[in-house]
Amino acid sequence: MIEELITWKDYEIQIAAFNEKGIGIYSSGIKVKTREGVPSASPTNVQAESINSTCVQVTWTPPNPQQINGINQGYKIQAWRDSAIEKTASMPPSLFDPLAQQSGVICGLQKFMAYNITVLCFTNPGNGKPSTPVAVKTLEDVPDSVNSIHFEDISDRAVKVVWTPPTKLNGVLIGYFIRYGVKDIPSSFRSMNVSSNESAVKVNSLKANTYYSFEVCGISRVGRGQCKSASMKSGVEPVLPKPPINLAVSNIQPFSVVLQFTPGFDGNSSITKWTVEAQTNRNASWHKVFEHCEEPEVSYSLSSTTAAYGSAATAVVSNMESIVVYDLIPFVQYTLRLVAHNVVGPSAPSQPSQLFQTLQAPPAHPPRNVTVRTMSGTQLKVRWIVSFFK
pLDDT tens for 53-100 read 999 999 999 999 889 999 999 999 999 999 999 999 999 998 888 889
3-state secondary structure of 280: strand
**CATH classification of 245-357, choosing from 3.40.50.12280, 3.40.50.2300, 3.30.70.20, 2.60.40.10?**
2.60.40.10
229 closest CA partner among 153, 293, 165, 167:
293
Whether 345 has a pLDDT exceeding 70, the answer reads: yes
Q: Taking residues 112-120, what's their average pLDDT?
A: 97
pLDDT of residue 305: 32
pLDDT of residue 313: 42
pLDDT of residue 303: 35
Say how many C-beta atoms besides its own lie within 10 A of residue 133's C-beta: 15
Cα–Cα distance for residue pair 162/145, rounded to 1 Å: 14
Domain boundaries, the chain: 154-233, 245-357
On whether the pTM is more than 0.85, the answer is: no
How far is CA 381 from each of CA 74, 365, 369, rounded to the nearest angstrom? 43, 22, 14
pLDDT of residue 302: 35
> What is the β-pairing status of strands 134-137 and 102-106?
unpaired
Provide the pLDDT confidence category of residue 308 given band limits of 50, 70 and 90. Answer: very low
Provide the pLDDT confidence category of residue 389 given band limits of 50, 70 and 90. Answer: low
Terminal alpha carbon distance of the chain: 49
Alpha helical stretches, state H, 262-384: none
Cα–Cα distance for residue pair 336/356, rounded to 1 Å: 9
154-233 in CATH: which number?
2.60.40.10
Provide the pLDDT confidence category of residue 128 given band limits of 50, 70 and 90. Answer: very high
Q: pLDDT by residue (tens digit) across 220-276?
A: 999 999 999 999 988 877 789 999 999 999 999 998 888 899 999 988 777 887 888
CA dihedral 154, 155, 158, 164 (to 10 degrees): 0
pLDDT of residue 282: 85
Instruction: Give Dmax over CA atoms of the chain in angstroms.
Output: 119
166 closest CA partner among 199, 143, 138, 197:
143
Q: pLDDT by residue (tens digit) across 259-274?
A: 899 999 988 777 887 8
Provide the pLDDT confidence category of residue 157 given band limits of 50, 70 and 90. Answer: confident
CA-derived radius of gyration, the chain: 32
